[in-house]
Amino acid sequence: MHRFTNTRGIELIKHFEGYSSTAYICPGGYNTIGYGHKIKPGENFTNISPWQAEDLLVRDLYYAERAVIKYIDSSLYNNQFDSLVSFTFNLGVAALQRSTLRQKINYGLHNECHDEFLRWSYARGRKLPGLIKRRNAESKLFSNEITHMVF
């Protein structure tokens, strides 16, 4: 059974990804457009509307959601699921799969997850303030400390 990211999770992702109608190189070095869509070989985007960006986001989230469902064995509240989808959307499925964060969640050590989120604040070997903010927001959402989005 598939599980979908709720509005709170989508707001968090959209906030930290930002919207760009034109292609740009993200801090990770990927050609990107819309709300963090990594342009794949064969895709030809020069300019997209907010509506097209939303459509790409929903399609991209599907893969992050499936990864969280596949690799997290323990039950998750909606906020926990959404925070892990944001994490996976931003870093990729392999990052979730190999992370100590995943292991701690699967062992039920949820109270030890904050520092694990923060370990993933680097892009190309540099610690980035935007990623620190994002990981803190994901950690707070995971811990259910966020009841509404304030960035």
Residues labelled as active-site residues: 17, 26
Look up tokens 């930290």; give the residue: 16
Determine the Cα–Cα distance for residues 144 and 36; give it in Å rounded to an integer: 25
Bridge-based pairing of strands 31-34 and 20-25 is antiparallel
Residue 52's H or E segment, with its range, is helix 50-71
Residue type, 14: K
Coil, helix or strand at residue 148: coil
Determine the Cα–Cα distance for residues 129 and 23; give it in Å rounded to an integer: 22
Q: In whole angstroms, how far apart are CA 118 and each of 61, 70, 143?
A: 22, 23, 14
* C-alpha 1: how far from chain center: 21
